[in-house]
Amino acid sequence: MPLRRLACLFALLLGGLSGGLSGPALAQDAEAWPLYDSTYVNDYAKLLPEEVEGRVVAALTALRDDTGVEATVLTLPTRGGFTPAPSIEAFATGLFNHWGIGDAGRNDGILIMVLREDREMRIELGSGYPRAFDREAQDIIDGVFLPAFRDEAYARGIEAGTRAVITRIARPHAEGSAPPDAQRSRTGIIIGVVLSVLGFAVSVIVVFWRRIRDRFTRCPHCGTRGIRSVRHTLSRATRSRQGEGQRITDCPHCGYHNVAPFVIPMVSTTSSSSGGSFGGGSSGGGGASGSW
């Protein structure tokens, strides 16, 4: 009996130790990656106004429809809390391969990732891109993304930078063109800066157009021209659900105040090429990074 009891105690002790070790081991082995609602833009750091996000989605959709290239934009506050990685490069490559961005045969996907609180960003390229495109990615980061980010103009930088990635990396590669040489790269930086300025100008025009429209709109209560209206997004639209917002209208003349809800349509998935998931592509770590 003593031997049997001793054996039982030993078995229980061994089981307890293995159980205590297996928990942390499983937790370490388990991968925790961000999920995606869209194959085009996932703005989890909330850096993009609704109209800017719409334009970026439209540009990425046109790229996919025209060439089949899957390019996606991801913003996060930080990579902390997800699968540990020693660098943003390792994190981006792991996430790229976990999502399977790009066509599995061509490996031509692109991930544009911005980490707001970490003040880091990465353009991760699929393994189908020649390494010479890494230099072009670095030029775009240094000449288009980072100048805007240093001014805290994240929406402007992301929109202009994404367009530069499309025109200088994704489309040339899809057409079978060689990576641009140094002279073309410098020209591309100038074009990127011009696009960035134009994007900012468009945003300013949109803001002032709303003010001009409100100035000539009559108050529904007193009939005087010159109301003030503001739109607030309460929840963003995704591929699976509508978004919600509020339009707040005030009249400085009679004190009229009204809050009206509005619905933001779901992100369109009508294109046959858009689908609900990526194509299974992979990356070998190509691309470029930057910080500000």
pLDDT tens, 14-54? 444 333 333 333 233 345 899 999 999 999 999 999 999 99
- Give tens-digit pLDDT for 181-214: 644 555 555 666 666 667 666 555 555 555 677 7
Nearest to 144 by CA among 86, 186, 94, 205: 186
Q: What average pLDDT does the segment 156-162 reach?
A: 98
Average pLDDT over the chain, rounded to whole? 81
Count CA atoms closer than 13 A to 77's CA, side-chain side.
Answer: 4
pLDDT at position 246, please?
82
pTM for this model (two decimals): 0.63
Span 172-185, average pLDDT: 73
Question: Residue range 88-95: average pLDDT?
Answer: 97
**Mean pLDDT over residues 80-109, rounded?**
95
- Please tell me the predicted confidence (pLDDT) of residue 263: 72
The CA distance from 263 to 33, in Å, is: 30
> Is the CB of residue 218 less than 8 Å from the CB of residue 242?
no
Q: How confident is the model over 135-142, as a mean pLDDT? A: 97
Quick one: CATH architecture of 217-264? Single Sheet (2.20)
List, by residue range, all CATH 3.10.310.50 domains of the chain: 41-202
Three-class SS string for the chain? CHHHHHHHHHHHHHHHHHHHHHHHHHHHHCCCCCCCCCCCEEECCCCCCHHHHHHHHHHHHHHHHHHCCCEEEEEECCCCCCCCCCCHHHHHHHHHHHHCCCECCCCCCEEEEEECCCCEEEEEECCCCCCHHHHHHHHHHHHHHHHHHHCCCHHHHHHHHHHHHHHHHHHHHHCCCCCCCHHHHHHHHHHHHHHHHHHHHHHHHHHHHHHHHHHCCECCCCCCECCEEEEEEEECCCCCCCEEEEEEEECCCCCCEEEEEEEECCCCCCCCCCCCCCCECCCCCEEEEEEC
80/120 Cα distance (integer angstroms): 13
**What are the residue ranges of CATH 2.20.25 in the chain?**
217-264
Using alpha carbons, select from 142, 236, 123 the residue that is nearest to residue 188.
142
120 touches 290 (CB < 8 A): yes
What is the architecture, at CATH level 2, of domain 41-202?
Answer: Roll (3.10)
